[in-house]
Amino acid sequence: MNWIILIIAGLFEVGFTTCLGKAKETNGTASMLWIIGFFVSLSVSMLLLYKATQTLPMGTAYAVWTGIGAVGTVIIGIIFFKEPVDFWRIFFIAALIGSIVGLKFVSH
């Protein structure tokens, strides 16, 4: 169950980075709403990370959380923010995903 909580925490990390990107692109009320979304996502992400670390090793949980956030943020950047896509970027994202999966399998 705590692995599911950790994955959800990582998805909220993607949420708060996405909100930062959208806040940068907008101004006025829209920007303020994205900033509020940032703080809500940040709070939920940290709370769920804290909950997951109650039973998972801290180092593993943190590495998986940041890995999910990094991979998700890159994918969101490519899809919604028109960030560049090239072989090496995809290669290293795949390596990061492999590392996250590997940590899951070696953690007891």
Confidence of residue 103 (pLDDT cuts 50, 70, 90): confident
Which pLDDT tens digit goes with each residue over 17-73?
A: 999 999 999 999 999 999 999 999 999 999 999 999 999 999 999 999 999 999 999
Res. 104: pLDDT tops 90: no
* 3 state DSSP class of 58: helix
Res. 105: pLDDT tops 90: no
> To which residue do tokens 């940590």 refer?
103
For residue 94 the two structure tokens come to 């795949």
- Number of helical H runs and strand E runs in the chain: 4, 0
Measured CA to CA, the distance from residue 99 to residue 95 in angstroms comes to 6
Report the chain's C-alpha Rg in angstroms: 15
For residue 93 the two structure tokens come to 């994202």
Res. 107: pLDDT tops 80: no
35 class by beta-carbon count within 10 Å (0-12 exposed, 13-18 middle, 19+ buried): middle
For residue 97 the two structure tokens come to 């995903």
Largest Cα–Cα distance in the chain? 48
Contact yes or no for 10/64 (Cβ under 8 A): yes
